Homo-oligomer: A and B are copies of this chain.
Amino acid sequence: MGNIARHGKTKQAEPAEDLLALDRQVCFALVIASRSVLSVYRPLLEPMGLTHPQYLVMLALWEKSPRSVGEIAGLLQLDSPTLSPLLKRLEDAGLITRRRSNDDERRLDIELTARGRELRREAEKIPPAVVARLGMEIGELESLHASLTKVIVAARAAEDDQA
């Protein structure tokens, strides 16, 4: 993301130097925050044998199963080329099945196995554990979530303009 004014004393004419300062790039903060939080998840997901993207796919399926690849891609904002191998790994792990739909042979029905459904019980421990480890106020998390939602909407609109 672009730069934002430094908090407090903002000079009237920001030198170009400051525009490119690392600590003022919101996108930099976004990327770092994302990586940092993922590294809090990692040790919690590892015993379940899941990576974070795989965990997100399982969340989508626990909400509703079966789903098509495109449906999951839409929910997670991922391309099918990313999901394709990921889903195969989940199949190898015995958590899902991949089968061509009867209605439409182009579509692939992704469905939870019994083991996949069972894993949910383990997964329910994750969110509270993460919140506990972060030790942040719920209010802070809520305001972050609100800000993030705005950015996502804004970025998506920017992409659509582009297209």
Stretch at the interface among A95-103, A108-116, A126-134: A126-134
CA distance A39 to B159 in the complex (A): 7
Q: Whole-angstrom distance from the CB of A83 to the nearest CB of chain B?
A: 14
Residue among A5, A43, A126, A145 with the highest chain B CB neighbour number at 10 A? A145
- Does A12 count as interface, using CB distance less than 8 angstroms? no
Asked whether, in the complex, the Cβ of B5 is within 8 Å of the Cβ of A142, the reply is yes
Asked whether, in the complex, the Cβ of A34 is within 8 Å of the Cβ of B36, the reply is no
Asked whether, in the complex, the Cβ of B142 is within 8 Å of the Cβ of A144, the reply is no
Q: How many residues of A contact B (CB 8 A)?
A: 74
Q: Please, which residues of chain B bring their CB within 8 A of the CB of A93?
A: none
Asked whether, in the complex, the Cβ of A152 is within 8 Å of the Cβ of B29, the reply is yes
Q: Please, which residues of chain B bring their CB within 8 A of the CB of A162?
A: 43, 133
Q: Whole-angstrom distance from the CB of A10 to the nearest CB of chain B?
A: 10
CA distance A148 to B56 in the complex (A): 21
Task: Identify the closest chain B residue to A155 (Cβ).
Answer: B36
CA distance A158 to B131 in the complex (A): 10
Q: Please, which residues of chain B bring their CB within 8 A of the CB of A81?
A: none
Asked whether, in the complex, the Cβ of A30 is within 8 Å of the Cβ of B40, the reply is no
Q: Please, which residues of chain B bring their CB within 8 A of the CB of A147?
A: 140, 143-144, 147
Q: Please, which residues of chain B bring their CB within 8 A of the CB of A155?
A: 33, 36-37, 39-40, 134
Q: Please, which residues of chain B bring their CB within 8 A of the CB of A3?
A: 127, 131
Task: Identify the closest chain B residue to A161 (Cβ).
Answer: B133
Q: Please, which residues of chain B bring their CB within 8 A of the CB of A126?
A: 2
Q: Please, which residues of chain B bring their CB within 8 A of the CB of A141?
A: 1-2, 4, 26
